[in-house]
Structure 1
Amino acid sequence: MNYKDEETLGQAVKAWRKFHHYRMGDAARAANIPYASFQRIEYDQGNPRIKNLALIARALGMSTDEVIARWFSDDEQKDQ
């Protein structure tokens, strides 16, 4: 499954979680991040800490750089 097709990081995380048939707590444990942090990421609330972002990237099968470039670069750079 290609999570890069999702519009937001939260949507990609949710797609990953559902693909693996995880409940949110199970997904947080699988990604090795606190439940509350996982929940905020999935709900697109605020910006995750870089450590948690790296762990989410690994869970998604992506590099941290790919996640940052895909979901955290400004729109002008995405168009170039």
Structure 2
Amino acid sequence: MNRKDGIHLDALAAALGETGDTALDIVRGTGIPLPKILRLLGLSTTSRAAPALDGLEIVQLCLYAELPLSAVMDAEEGQ
């Protein structure tokens, strides 16, 4: 992948994240690795994720509950 492709994929992943799709939806739709999607969504840093949950646990919770990542993060940040 060249730099131009990388920029395009980053923009696509960011746009998909704003639609309410879960990180797994984005991974499946774009082929971008999950850790990169989590970084694009701001979930791989401890400043955004709840202390008791790591990024993968948040994604698994979203998958189980069929919720967008934004709904889980909004709930965690409100506590």
Q: Is the pair's TM-score, using the shorter chain for normalization, greater than 0.5?
A: no
**TM-score scaled to structure 2, two decimals?**
0.29
**TM-score scaled to structure 1, two decimals?**
0.29
Tell which structure's C-alpha radius of gyration is larger. Answer: 2
